[in-house]
Amino acid sequence: MTSDLERALYTYIRMAGLPEPDTEVSLIPGRRFRYDMVWPNHKLAVEIQGGIWQKGGHSTGAGISRDTEKLNLATLQGYRVLQVTGDQIKTGQALLWIRKALQMSEAPVE
């Protein structure tokens, strides 16, 4: 884990008793993309969008294009990808979404 937001979310996940994710995972063969948190058995990935109010690599045209490619490639591998912000981590909304997504993948299919 490389950022304060990643460490915070990981701590909240542990405190909530949810399954612990793998971190900094490469899902796409032949690509350097790494996903912040992944639950392989649930086919769930979480990407934390930090620094969204700052001018940086993710807020440029090239950065947005790269991020959408990364999201789409994971989706094509059968993963659901949740994108969360620092504010959503701090309010607990991100944890609620993760809990719901983990529950959805455990639900029996009819």
Q: In Å, how far from its chain's centre is CA 6? A: 10
Helices (H), 1-110: 4-15, 61-76, 86-91, 93-106
DSSP string, 26-39: --STT----EEEEE
Q: Which tokens belong to 104?
A: 């959805």
Q: Are 45 and 37 in contact (CB under 8 A)?
A: yes
Q: What is the pLDDT along the chain (110 residues), one digit of tens a residue?
A: 578 999 999 999 999 999 999 999 999 999 999 999 999 999 999 999 875 545 555 556 776 888 899 999 999 999 999 999 999 999 999 999 999 999 998 755 55
- Residue ranges of domains in the chain: 4-106
Rounded CA-CA distance 49/6 in Å is 10
Superfamily of domain covering 4-106: VSR Endonuclease (3.40.960.10)
